[in-house]
Chains A and B, each alone.
Chain A
Amino acid sequence: MRGGETTVFEVIVRRFEEPLRAWLAAQSPPAVDVDEVAQRSFVAAFARLDDYELGTNFGAWLFTIARFQLMTEATRLRRIADYHARYAPDLLQRELERRSSEPPESCQARLAHLKTCLSALPEHLRRFVTWRYEEEIPLAEMSARSGRSVPAVKKLLWKLRRQLHDCVERRMAAEGAAS
């Protein structure tokens, strides 16, 4: 049963890494290392390949493993004494847990729509997203580069996230209506 699986499994990792990372990114509470949980999920899936029932939905099986890996990590974090004080408003965590019941594929659709929405942003706005998420420069540096105050940069980032979220929602709704 295990002959050749490593090679085949790499194909599976390549096919699933983006949807799995997207799902984990959207569901993980603050301070969770998404890539670490994703890698652990793949390793666990590989170790349990014998348990996988041929003919059933492999994606669903993998995401079930990932869900347990995420729960384990979230539990570990909760047990750290000052986690809530420092990182996670519990209401946010509860809302994220509620959303984790959404089908995993919708997270990948969100990711795809987000890329489209992002590319449609005018360059003078998109550069703030690039600075923040690709270059990861401090707000003060963004302020210096753009000539805006730090509060104005913060406000703009807030607006951009909202705009992008609204754009993604519209696209999800349109896709839902079309299908």
Chain B
Amino acid sequence: MRPDERFTELWTDYLEGELDEGGIAELRELLSADEALVRMAADSYQTHRLLSLVAQGSSESRESFVRETMARIPADGSCFMDRVMSHITPQPGERRAPAQRALVLRWLPWVAAAAVLVVLGAILLRAPEAEPDAAQVTEVVGAVRWTSGDGEVADSLAIGALLSGGTLEVLGPESWCTLRFRDTSTVTLSCSGRLTISKLAQKELHLQVGALSAVVCPQPADRPMLIHTPEADLQVLGTAFRVEVGSSSTALRVSEGRVRVTRLADGSSAEVPSGHRAIASLDPRGTLQVVPRSAPTTEWRGRLPDGTIHGTWVPSAGGGGRLLATPLLLHRDGEPITLRVAAQSVSRGGSPPVALEANSAFRVRGSVASAGTVHFGFSTARMDGQFAGKFIIACPVPALTDGAGVLDLWFRLTDFQPLASVDGGALPTGAPESADGLELRDWWWCTREGDLGLAVSSVELTVSDTVPPPAPGPAPSNLGEALKAAGFERLLGTWVDAETGGEDIRVTYGWRFEDEVMDITASDRTKKTASLMGLNSGTGEVYHIGVDSEGTSSLGTWSFKEGEAVLELGFTTVAGEQGGRRFRHEFVDDDTMLMTIDYPEPVVLRMVRVKGK
């Protein structure tokens, strides 16, 4: 055995606590003979310790550490954390682009804590009376737009950016943005909302459309937070509430404290206490009524077109109708993207809150004109009304349509994934991983790959124990059907990496036997590979088998989910070494595809179709 192999063995035993005294002595001898091994051991040791820390990194574990630490510190009666926290927001010069977020977070604790103590004295001496109450972006997901008071438009916002005197828009159903004011009051804008933030010292917001949930710290009696909507004025002294603006009404739900609401149509006003709701509409026959919040229900059926957020309602001659998905242009990473969206609010109006449970299931009915992948998603709130997150599932349409192109789809709650934060893909701290126990606020249904003629006739939520089990779509009978169902029949053709025009990698997908077996030939700078892809009709699995010019054989499977085709390969070299690799494929458009090779540091290749061959 070579010394480095022996070192590997001893060192691993050492980290596992399995090294006896003789082993320790041997390890020490190897280390003293080779300085490089000492460095390697220290590298490995540090990685080992940091991995343990990462494993303990759950919010519960961190919370437990804080609790244990604070339990060891003598208690103290007074409290002015809010005022202290109000002084630790980054200054305008400290804004960073999303990609630099890690760097910001790395320095933030030092900047923040230094600020905490430095400002302690200053806070007690002087309150910042005349400063505009800027709001700091603490979370942003999806497409947003900020238009400043002087008309400057930004199509992205960085965590930590300070907003004052301008309009914030969250674009599309998959977006939201959370802001924190200096006194730690927070507001979350969602549901394709548009919010104008004043430049005044007093918190003053204009919610033109969308949903805003807020937790507001106690405000000075002479300077309450003011929220204006097209139908109502809200005056907030410190409370938690949610307000949602529809086409001609504002719905307010208070979960803590009190909010004074004034109905603009007639000037009537009322205080809405905790656990109550109020609706202010423009209907001249209506009045401002404050009523206790209803008990939640677990079953719901949307009465389209009520509560429509996106889409065009087309009535049918025999009653009912369809909500046609309409285009919505967004910018992601600076690139324009057009979604076709149909969406409906669940929580507008006077209907009871809808509670999601582990065995809840959505039934979605509608139609499509052509094949593709559609995404169904929904927004949630905690039962106290505060925004909780969004959840989504991707669904290949053709496999689930009947002969008339009519959709009748079932989605169980457990099938949905949380929409992650846009930079890094990680869930925001404290964000729920499951929608079980949350309240349903809205749903949306969209396509990202062109107009499929998507329309929705009804959406309902039910408890799966009380309905027939979801009807699975017909299983594909061959590879061609499986690829079509996933929207990956477009793989056919020759693809080269855009950067070198195929010198780095070139892949050709073609039928060996049409719709049954696909030939895949690939070449890179060092070798060529020949593979076959086929469908196991018994299991429905899409298999992959290949060999390269160096004799390495590979065996794997393809899976298709959420617009992504994933090839998981296990390989064996001629020397008998084994390993695994994952390749992910995602279409940008019909002629462009991103191929990600999951090395520890993923490699992303932009592949373009070779035309005319």
Binding site for B on A (CB under 8 A): 2-19, 21-22, 25-26, 28, 30, 34-35, 38-39, 42-43, 46, 52, 54-60, 62, 85-86, 89-92, 95-96, 99, 105, 108-125, 129-130, 132-134, 139, 151, 154-155, 157-158, 161-168, 170-171, 175, 179
Contact = CB atoms under 8 A, between A and B. Distances in A.
B70 A167 contact: no
Interface stretch (B38-46, B362-370, B390-398): B38-46
Contacts of A95: 38-39, 41-42
B81 A8 contact: yes
A165 B44 contact: yes
Contacts of A115: 54, 57
Interface of A is mostly: helix
B117 A133 contact: no
Interface in B406-440: 424-426
Interface string B106-147: 111110111011101100000000000000000000000000
Complex A-B, nearest 8 residue pairs according to Cβ-Cβ distance, in ascending order: A6-B76, A59-B110, A133-B55, A25-B49, A95-B42, A167-B600, A4-B78, A15-B109
B47 interface: yes
B328 interface: no
Contacts of A161: 44, 47-48, 51
B72 interface: yes
A69 B43 CA distance: 23
B576 interface: no
A105 B107 contact: yes
Nearest to B582: A122
B68 interface: yes
A89 B28 contact: yes
Interface in B19-47: 21, 24, 27-28, 31-32, 38-39, 41-47
B79 interface: yes
A72 to B, nearest CB: 16
Interface string B47-83: 1111111110100001001101110111110111100
B298 interface: no
B12 A157 contact: yes
A17 B44 CA distance: 23
Contact of B102 (A2, A5, A112): A112
A122 B11 contact: no
Given A15-B112, A42-B73, 10 more contacts: A4-B79, A12-B113, A18-B62, A42-B72, A59-B110, A95-B38, A120-B601, A125-B580, A166-B600, A167-B600
Nearest to B71: A39
Contact of A122 (B42, B116, B580): B580
Contacts of B73: 6, 9, 42-43, 46
Nearest to B70: A10
16 contacts: A4-B80, A7-B80, A7-B81, A14-B66, A17-B65, A34-B49, A38-B69, A54-B121, A59-B110, A89-B28, A91-B28, A91-B32, A112-B105, A120-B600, A124-B568, A158-B44
B467 interface: no
B223 interface: no
Contacts of B112: 15
A117 to B, nearest CB: 5
B16 interface: yes
Contacts of A111: 50, 53-54
B42 A109 contact: no
Nearest to A22: B53
Given A8-B116, A25-B49, A58-B114, A39 B69 contact: yes
Contacts of B117: 52, 54, 58
Given A7-B81, A109-B102, A112-B105, A54 B69 contact: no
Contact of B66 (A13, A114, A170): A13
A99 B65 contact: no
A105 B57 CA distance: 18
A58 B39 CA distance: 31
B8 interface: yes
Nearest to B425: A119
Nearest to B32: A91
B6 interface: no
Contacts of B50: 22, 25-26, 110-111, 114
Nearest to A148: B578
A42 B73 CA distance: 9
A34 B112 CA distance: 24
A127 B523 CA distance: 31
B402 interface: no
Contacts of B602: 120
Contacts of B14: 89
B600 A17 contact: no
B53 A34 contact: yes
Nearest to A12: B113
A26 to B, nearest CB: 5
A57 B73 CA distance: 22
A114 B57 CA distance: 12
B541 interface: no
Nearest to B113: A58
B102 A117 contact: no
A54 B122 CA distance: 11
A155 B283 CA distance: 73
Most B CB within 10 A of own CB, among A7, A18, A54? A7
Contact of A54 (B8, B118, B568, B581): B118
A164 B600 contact: yes
B598 interface: yes
Contact of A91 (B31, B53, B69, B108): B31
B113 A15 contact: yes
B13 interface: yes
A6 B106 CA distance: 24
A8 B80 contact: yes
B84 interface: yes
Contact of B120 (A8, A85, A109): A8
B62 A58 contact: no
A95 B32 CA distance: 12
A123 B582 CA distance: 9
Given A8-B81, A43-B72, A165-B44, A57 B601 contact: no
B217 to A, nearest CB: 14
Given A11-B116, A42-B69, A95-B41, A179 B103 contact: yes
